[in-house]
Amino acid sequence: MSSFVLMRSLLSIVLSVLFVLTATSGVVRAQGEDSFGDAGADPVKLFERGQAAHARGDLQKALDLYEQAIKVRPEFPEAEFQRGNVLAALGRVKEAEEAFRKAIELKKNWSLPYSALGTLLIRDKQDAAAESAFRKALTIDANDNVALRFLSDIRLRAGDAKGALELAKRATANPDSPASAWIGLAAAQRALGDKTSARATLDQVLSDEATNVAALMERADLQVDEVKYDGAIADLKAASKLRPDDKQILTRMVYVYQQAGKSDEAAAVAKAAGLQPLVTGDNKKGVIGSPDEIEAANSEDPTVARKALEKLLEKNPNNAMLLSRLGASYRMDDPARSLDYFRRAAGTDPASAEYALGYASALVQARRFQEAAHILRQVVKLNPQNYVAHANLATALYELKLYRDALTEYEWLLAAKPDLSVAYFFIATVHDYLGEFPEALSSYETFLVKANAATNQLEIDKVKLRLPSLRRQIQLGEGVKKKP
């Protein structure tokens, strides 16, 4: 789901929260007036005044009133919840999180604080924690639309397009679902390759609301996937008229012009928007951004580079090179996010073995070996000398217990790098699993001779434990190699 969908969803959350809490204030009063005759000492009236200030955009005033209400009545979950919303809007994220958690503590069977906490965690790029919060919201209210929409987005980023589609369908089952729910549905349909349904969904959204920028942007991205650049440009122009100074729209327009081979138009839009186009290699790898952003993206400091790459990706949402570099950046820190970036890179440029290999390697790390093996076999077929592809394919096949195929890959690796001592260990274990004990013994012994205790101590210990029983089995005539 694009950042436009996310922004739209966040806005709808704020509006729906204000609506729900307006109704909630009546519930609070019904539970007990607690009117002290002085509005300044009545927590309910303070809360209502806070809501009024909140609705007209006077956030600081609203915050003061919510806090006054809590001071009078410390156990006031609705006030804590609204206090959290104001703090989030003010960018005071840590305090907002504490307020939402306090509201949850005070009223555990209320889904809204869980959903609000989830959206806050998404902003902080904590998808796993956000998913937990949204799922708790759904156990309380299976129709919590905010939780359904954002959870669908999280599953989509994690590569679970089917799960995302199921959640998006539930989110759109409500006749009062906002447009952002339908745009999320289209994004899931598009991820599953159902471009016809995605187009129909977006066309309907735009038929009802022609000025929906998020839908225009999503349809433009869909048309880029379909290589329908003229239609994408038309949608981007319509979005630009609605938001003339939006750099994100303009940078996408530059990108699509580049993809369409219209370099003059791309340069004109970039110049008018004050953007710096940079083409590295061919046009498909063109990156739009300021010189400072591009320099930072190439920084040797991984933290600096990652932030710059993420900022550039906002301007170049379909750039496979940026997606791939972010996938590599997150490989160790956040495997799920890494997998999503590599998946998107491979989907953006399916003909690239480089991006397919990155995606497959991330699948191996995520232990999704069946999918990885399928992709890696294709990569090896097209690039027979690609060492990294063979290494990952060997691991995937080994974990799938396809030992005969894995043996072929380990032998290839050993031929390519004779000093790769650990390959002898895996070759030995493959023979062992296949019941080929003499061959296993020979490889185990070779491994012990070549192994480095500093890096292979665990494997060395395993071999020493195995050898006595293996030798006894061979003495008994077991494990004679059979023809495959």
Q: Where are the domains of the chain?
A: 345-475
Please give the distance of CA 318 from its chain centroid, rounded to a whole number. Answer: 15
C-alpha neighbours within 13 Å on the C-beta side of residue 9: 30
pLDDT of 33 reads: 39
Handedness of CA 133, 137, 139, 140 (dihedral sign): positive
Burial of 190 (0-12, 13-18, 19+ CB in 10 A): buried
R_g of the chain computed on alpha carbons: 28
DSSP code of residue 86: H
Phi, psi of 277 (to 5 degrees): -80, 140
Tens digits of per-residue pLDDT, 120-179? 998 877 888 999 999 999 999 999 999 999 999 998 888 788 999 999 999 999 888 899
Q: 3-state DSSP call for residue 249?
A: helix
Q: How far is CA 375 from CA 90, 331, 346, 357, 396, in A?
A: 46, 18, 11, 8, 11
Phi, psi of 452 (to 5 degrees): -105, 120
Q: Is the pLDDT of residue 280 over 70?
A: no
**Mean pLDDT computed over 106-121:** 93
pLDDT of 34 reads: 40
Q: Is the pLDDT of residue 212 over 90?
A: yes
Alpha helical stretches, state H, 260-334: 263-273, 291-297, 302-315, 320-329
The pairing of strands 277-278 and 287-288 is antiparallel
pLDDT of 15 reads: 40
Give the integer Cα–Cα distance in Å for 436 and 444.
Answer: 12
Q: 3-state DSSP call for residue 287?
A: strand
**Mean pLDDT computed over 442-462:** 87
Give the integer Cα–Cα distance in Å for 22 and 113.
Answer: 15
Closest CA to 380 of 391, 371, 369: 391
Handedness of CA 433, 435, 436, 441 (dihedral sign): positive
Using a cut of 0.85, tell me whether the model's pTM lies above it.
no
Q: Is the pLDDT of residue 11 over 50?
A: no
Alpha helical stretches, state H, 33-73: 43-55, 59-72
Highest mean pLDDT: which range of 33-42, 397-406, 469-478:
397-406
Query: What is the end-to-end Cα distance of the chain in Å, rounded?
Result: 49
Q: Is the pLDDT of residue 293 over 90?
A: no
pLDDT of 226 reads: 86
Given this structure, which CATH class describes domain 345-475? mainly alpha
pLDDT of 26 reads: 38
C-beta of residue 107 within 8 angstroms of C-beta of residue 138: no
Q: And the tokens for 262? A: 């219209």
**What is the pLDDT of the chain when averaged over all its residues?**
82
C-beta of residue 303 within 8 angstroms of C-beta of residue 310: no
C-beta of residue 390 within 8 angstroms of C-beta of residue 412: yes
Q: Is the pLDDT of residue 344 over 60?
A: yes
Bin 367: left if φ > 0, else alpha if -120 < ψ < 50, else beta. left
Give the integer Cα–Cα distance in Å for 198 and 281.
Answer: 32
Give the integer Cα–Cα distance in Å for 295 and 63.
Answer: 41
Is 254 or 292 the better-scoring residue by pLDDT? 254
